[in-house]
Amino acid sequence: MTDPAERYARAAESRRHPLTAGFADLQRFDLDPFQLAACHALEEGRSVLVAAPTGAGKTIVGEFAIHLAMHEPAVGGRGDKAFYTTPMKALSNQKYRELVDVYGPDEVGLLTGDVTVNGDARIVVMTTEVLRNMLYADSAALRDLRFVIMDEVHYLADRFRGAVWEEVIIHLPAHVRLVSLSATVSNAEEFGDWLGTVRGDTEVIVSEIRPVPLEQHVLVRGDLLPLFDDRAGVATAQVNQELMRIRSVKGPTFENNRRAQQYRSGDRGERARYAGGGGYEGTHKRPNRGGKRPVRPSNVRRIERLDRPDVVELLDRVTLLPAIFFIFSRVGCDAAVQQVRRAGVRLTTAEERTEIRELVEERTRTLRDEDLAVLGYWEWRENLERGVAAHHAGLLPAFKEVVEELFQRKLVKVVFATETLALGINMPARTVVLEKLEKFNGEARVAITAGEYTQLTGRAGRRGIDVEGHAVIQWTEGLDPQAVAALASRRTYPLNSSFRPTYNMAVNLIDRFGRERAREILESSFAQFQADRAVVGLARRVKDAEASLAGYEKAMTCDRGDFADYSRLRRELSDLEKLNRADRTASAKLRQERQHEIQSLRRRLQRHACHDCPDRESHARWAERYWKLRRSTDKLRHQIETRTGTVARVFDRVVDVLAALGYVEVDGDGTTTVTAAGATMQRIYGERDLLVAESLRRGAWNDLDAPALAALACCLVYEPRRDETGPGERGLPRGPFRDALTRTQDLWAVLDDLERDHRLPGSEPVATGLARAMHAWARGAALDHVLDEADLAAGDFVRWTKQTIDLLDQLSLVAAPEVAVTARRALEAVRRGIVAYSSVS
């Protein structure tokens, strides 16, 4: 029964925050302390930063902000607005559907670049880029905006797209309250301090507590052994000693180890006493499926891994499904599904299979039969009916959405996924399985970070369903339990800015604020804030060093003369002697010249007033310390000089390039204005903003038809795989496309040289690898032909095509009339079939 004093305190809190109390009453769960604290801050008119683990319920805070905006009824068709931004279109689609369920379709809109639904609604879900573009265009939709929720705000660290988050945060109107939702980062307070600087009063709320505790296991053959010794307590996080023994012998000692026999035959309590904590026990002899050999004898040093079907059956047997297996390879995910299918695993009932088939057919009814055959639909559906699926970026978006929905409904029980699934999509499981703790980063196999481990295992544990979540690490040769424990124990990773000025950003800022004010705005970025924070630390070290230098200088003072000068001569002599000994390649003449200099320095030392001081060596020891510290202090001063104003200096270089090309004009007094060409640049967004603007201005694409313009736009957005060689000249579309491509490539080379002359990093060459396939698609070619031509998975082709559509859409708005018309035709030509599919349209 609740304590009377506690009931009184809750009642008093409810009176102080009635809107929070009313909102809390509508929820399925009692709000956690961090959620209540964040809601109270919002009700009091402050912005908030909420940093909490995956699955902790951060989005509740964003939903409360929407609740506040919708609290007052609209008067005369108007009312407060709330924008909910996400880093990915899939997340935007998911959030849109959730909010429609609460507020109805009339009150909720969706803007993702390629989908526009009810954009004037009071609640609008959008990608962060869409909001950035609204701010630069001073869109009328910003009127009456009261709250902006930035979900997954730690994307600010993304080196390709992170700058967009900072642009939005800096440029939002001052009266808009910001709700920033982040994974647990180690420098949340630093990020919160910056938010307070640029947005005003901001409450920083950090929670390390998972609402569903996470149990960590290591799967050794057929046994799920606990990673940590429960007896030691969570605070000490001592590794299970049985795992350490297994590692030390590097092989299975279970067969002839008396203690292990006791472990296997005992009940769970006995196992806990032996292994250092509870755990689930699976099969100890692998099923002899297909004539496979039984467990190796004890004199064989290698521990066999369970096959995936066996792992799935083990998890099913000990009621640890549904599960997500993270496999850092698309091919591996697809192969895993096939393995389970070939093994005859079926995890669903007849009723569930019927429900799955009905949902799949409903969600894919708009796709053409011939396209479904190309996409492997029938086999995919059969796998779903078994309760098994893959989830990765190569999968068609429509198929991914079906997998997500079936998993949420507990109809699909096992998903083999790449790490993209861990990025915010609402797919919690009872168990997460990591087959390996390393992945290929494009160049080499690298260990996953503590942050990645936390993000992946954060999917385990469904609030309101599971008492605890489970993370299972499969034993591999060379696995170090201590290293796994270190990953599991570290819950945080740093949030570092990736902000850098772009050409589009520069012309927009100059047009709206003027150059000087633009520099000030950029100096308020998180990137500069972090650099300045570092400068503060460096300056403190310089100050401390200067105090030490003064002390050293005093300690080496000699009453016979200037010992600093004497010690400088000693250092010069020592350095020159070392150089002369080490430099074996020096000519005889050079060595003779050095020898003369050495003799001269020795004579000067001997004649120096301090040379005969009886305390000379004592003074010298202090002098050595002095010069060593002096060198390191000079380095610190150089670091301070290079860090101060770094973002503004890059901005100046960007403006210099724009001025050289005529996108801005700089008067004699430094006043900078945007030209007509710069006004076009203001509406071109993306990595290739300067190249697109120059190509339009010089008429490089004037002679293209719709398919050719689609192919060329694709060349500007496509990023080839590292091992991709491209189709070569013979594979590219003929006619005006070739000429336009050559002119564009020549322009790129000129711009790249210009950027490097201004100490900017330049850009990658135009990539033609997808041009032929995009040209064919725009001409109406069948899906199987285009995918074969592209050598891409359907999901990848759709992703690049949608980015091509984004660029074509921009061209239709900013290009000269003739090219704009062609761009609209190209849009219509490529937005068809699987590309046009949308689950929310």
Report which of residues 366 and 780 the model is more confident about. 780
Nearest by Cα to 90 from 168, 164, 147, 151: 151
CB 88 within 8 A of CB 129: no
pLDDT of residue 533: 79
- CA dist., res. 790 & res. 721, Å (int): 12
Token pair 């521990």: residue: 303
Could you report the per-residue pLDDT of 473-511, keeping only the tens digit for each? 998 877 888 888 888 776 567 888 988 899 999 999 999
CA neighbor of 775 nearest in space, from 709, 836, 688, 819: 709
pLDDT class of 442 with cuts at 50, 70, 90: low
Mean pLDDT confidence for 70-97: 81
Predicted confidence band at 176 (pLDDT cuts at 50, 70, 90)?
very high
Residue with tokens 């290293």: 483
As a whole number, the mean pLDDT across the chain is: 84
Give the model's pLDDT for residue 298: 42
Asked whether residue 262 carries a pLDDT value surpassing 50, the answer given is no
Q: How confident is the model at residue 583 (pLDDT cuts 50, 70, 90)?
A: confident
- Over 70: is that where the pLDDT of 161 sits? yes
Note the pLDDT tens digit of each residue in 602-638: 899 888 888 888 888 888 888 888 888 888 888 887 7
**Mean pLDDT calculated for residue range 701-730:** 85
Residue type, 285: K
Dist CA 235 CA 611 (whole Å) = 61
Q: Is the pLDDT score of 421 beyond 70?
A: no
* Confidence (pLDDT) at 734: 85
Which range scores top for mean pLDDT: 206-210, 455-459, 505-509? 505-509
pLDDT at 379 over 70: yes
Task: Judge if pTM exceeds 0.75.
Answer: yes
Task: Give one DSSP letter per residue of 640-709, joined into a string.
Answer: HHHHTTHHHHHHHHHHHHHHHHTSEEE-TT--EEE-HHHHHHTT--STTHHHHHHHHHTTTTTT--HHHH
Q: What is the tens place of the pLDDT at every residue in 672-698?
A: 999 999 999 999 998 899 999 999 999
Percent of the chain with pLDDT over 70: 86
In the structure, what pLDDT confidence band is assigned to residue 272 with cuts at 50, 70 and 90? very low
> Does the pLDDT value for residue 221 go beyond 60?
yes
* Average confidence (pLDDT) over 377-402: 93
**Under DSSP, is residue 720 helix (H, G, I), strand (E, B) or coil?**
coil
Asked whether the bond before 322 is cis by omega within 30 degrees of 0, the reply is yes
Q: How confident is the model at residue 271 (pLDDT cuts 50, 70, 90)?
A: very low
Characterize the bridge pairing of strands 214-220 and 223-226: antiparallel
Q: What is the pLDDT of residues 31-66, one digit of tens each?
A: 989 999 999 999 999 999 999 887 788 899 999 999
Least reliable range by pLDDT among 297-301, 327-331, 797-801:
297-301
Dihedral (CA of 573, 577, 579, 580) sign:
positive
Which residue pairs from 724-732 have beta carbons closer than 8 angstroms and sit at least 24 positions apart in sequence?
724/769, 726/767, 726/768, 726/769, 727/768, 727/769, 727/771, 727/772, 731/772, 732/768, 732/771, 732/772
Q: How many residues are recorded in the chain?
A: 841
Q: Which helix (H) or strand (E) holds 96?
A: helix 89-103
What pLDDT score does 839 carry?
Answer: 62
Strands (E) across 96-176 are located at: 108-111, 116-117, 123-127, 145-150
Residue type, 714: C
According to DSSP, the residues that pair with 390 across neighbouring strands are: 416
